[in-house]
Structures are given as C-alpha cells and as structure tokens.
Amino acid sequence: MKNYVIEKFMTLIRYDTASDPNSTSYPSTEAQMCFAEIMAGELMKIGVKDIAIDRYGYVTGTLPGNTDGPVIGFISHMDTSPDCSGFGIEPMIIENYDGDTIQRKGVPLSPEEFPELKLYTGKTVICSDGTTLLGADDKAGCAEILTALAYLAEHTEIKHPTIRVAFTPDEEIGKGTEHFDVKKFGCDYAYTVDGGILGEISYENFNAARAKIDIKGKSVHPGSAKGLMVNAALIGCELDSMLPEYEIPANTESYEGFYHLTEINGNVENAHMSYIIRDFDKDSFEKRKNNIVNIVKNLNEKYGANTVHLNLYDEYYNMAEIINEHKYVLDRAVKAIEKTGVKPLVEPIRGGTDGAGLSFMGLPCPNIFTGGHNFHGPYEFVCAESMVKAAETIINIIVG
C-alpha cells in the first residue's frame, strides 16, 4: 500500500492545478478541468463505475457495494493554493529520515523551525525542492482515496456498502461546493480527506469572509500637491493600521480569529487590497466584518464619498453547527482511526474545507487527516506512512 500511495501522489503532483481567486470562470483555471480528466482516468483504472465529469469540473464515481449499509462519500479537492507556485514541482523522497535539516535547492526544511519534523525520524518524508509548494493539499487526499478504492476493488472478499467519491475544484478559493449537486451525489454522509497531521479529525472550522477593497486617489504633481493630492496607497496603509495590530495569523492559534491581508498593490491614483476574515464564533465573526465596514465608512467620510469601495462577502461557515446534530458520523471516523493503531486528534480546522459547505447543504461531512504539514508554501511536506494510515482509515470507515 505504501508504494501504491506514493506512486499515485507522485503522479498527481506533476500537474499544476492552482486555482485563481480573480477568475470569473468555474472552475477558475482550465488546468483543473484538464486534471479532472486525469482523475477520471485513475478511477477508471481501479474499476470504479458511473464515472462522470460535469461542466463545472466535478469528478464523481461509484464503487458498488456488496452488502447493505449507508452510502458513504469521500471527497478531496483537485486545486492547489494560488499563494505559492505549483508549477514544475520537483519532489524529494527522503527514506529513513534522520531528523536533521533537509537541504534543498530552495529554502531548507529545518526541525529547528518546524519541530514536528522530528515526529517522522526513521520514516519516509516527501517534500518539494524548496522552490515550490508540494501539492499535498490536497493531492495527498486524492491519492489516499484512490489507494483505499484500489484496495477494496482488489479485495472483493471484504464486505462494504456502496461508496461514492468526488474530486472538486476551487476549494482553495472558497468555491469548492458552489455547484456541487448533493442530491445527485446521493450519500447519507461523507468525509473530506483534506486534513493535516496523522490522526487528526475535525468537525469545527472557521466562519469565513473575504473583503476586496479598491481605493481611488487623486494624482497631481507632488510639487504642487498641497490640498489636492489624495494618495490611494497611503489610504490603504491607513486602513490596515486601523485593524487590531495583533489579530493576524502570525499571532493567533487554536480558536482565535484574525484578519489576514492577502494582497496589496497600488500607487497614488489607485490601490487594491484583499483580506480574508476568520473566526470560529459566529458573533465574533459578524463583529469582525462590521469593523471592516465601519473603517471603510470612516475613511470615506474623511476623504470623500466613494474613495474606498468595499466588496465584502461570506465564503463558508463553521460546520460544527451541523455535525453536532450528527455525531455518529464523527464517532465512526474516530473508531476507524483507532483501528489503525493511531490516537485520534479531534482538532478545529484553522481554515476551511469543502465539508463545511456540504454540511450546510444537507450532507454531514467532517474532515480527516492526510498526513501533510505546512500547506500553501515551500515548507510543505507529508509523511508516506501517515498517508498509508489515512488510506487505512478510509477503508475502516467504509467497513464499519
């Protein structure tokens, strides 16, 4: 199983499937639609039935059951983060990792900076060459689902109910379930395979919103600018300074929310900023959004109406609200992880997952681990042995 999951993972990360938050198409990049064909082909090799790719890029398939039971779904997303290049990934496979710094073409991967590396001493660590992300988020999940399906397809003596699988686009930009047809998917409940550390299972995630801000300035010659110039870039700096200084990702953990400036560019005449807003608590989430609204209002009162334009919209909500009513779904996953010999870690997701949107669409869908760390950047890595445990967990959930 280890060689199989590594082989599948290595195959999938060859494809650059970054999503694009500024695109108006769905999926947001043509590369994801091309990758959907790759995933359909992988399902076909296994013998999965009813394989389909819809016009939005969703890939679905069925592994028919040989016994009665609930129809269970497993879902991973095909896109990688647009925050770091996924083009030309050069993976490194470190067998029997010695616990020391991994020297790479790009940035080194050091246990002094990332102590969790030490957990994998003696195991197989996979990372990029340090110039790109790795793509374990979420091609590790895709590979693990394929591995579990292949195992069950080969071992026909194992009794299991009907299984549905889906591979989705645009999860990284908060649109992974925008056109997902829950009724057509036809599951009683499902699991996203999109988590992190070995044994992790999550049913709580951030409430999420995005704020896109455009600022209109007035450019005149700086030598005669007094009383005339309106510097859009400086207004952007002023706006950011009005947010709580320490409520940013680098200063928060556990259930603490934040504002995260993801993009800023501009000049005197025009500036653009983009924030993501995150909080587990619904009331606090609303207060954060209102804070942005009030800051923009105050700046427009100061510099003139329509100087600052705000496009603020919600992306997803905390699925705990739904999963708390369907705890049996969580209990089944906890039991499945325990059967692999791993201690379950019930942790909140400091991020999002397709499972959040799906849960609010009527499909209870907690999130299970992939074995990856440090997603969305060149420090990303995954442990092959953890990927095997993730595949075993999927099988255990199916078998019950």
Residues catalogued as catalytic: 79, 171
Lookup: tokens for 185:
């998917």
Give CA separation, 78 vs 123, 152, 172, 193, 249, in Å: 26, 22, 9, 12, 25
* Residue 389 to residue 391: CA distance in whole angstroms: 5
Lookup: tokens for 132:
């790109």
Residue 352: Cβ within 10 Å count: 25
Backbone angles phi, psi at 309, to 5 degrees: -110, 130
Residue partners of 295: CB distance under 8 A and separation at least 6: 239, 242, 243
Backbone angles phi, psi at 273, to 5 degrees: -135, 150
Mind giving me the DSSP string for 169-212?
A: S-GGGT-TTTT--HHHHT-SEEEEE---STTEEE--B-EEEEEE
Mind giving me the DSSP string for 271-321?
A: EEEEEEEEESSHHHHHHHHHHHHHHHHHHHHHH-TTSEEEEEEEEE--THH
- Specify the DSSP element, H or E, that contains 329: helix 327-339
Residue partners of 161: CB distance under 8 A and separation at least 6: 65, 67, 68, 69, 70, 71, 72, 398
* Residue 203 to residue 280: CA distance in whole angstroms: 11
CB 199 within 8 A of CB 345: yes
Residue 348: Cβ within 10 Å count: 15
For the chain, the residue count is 400
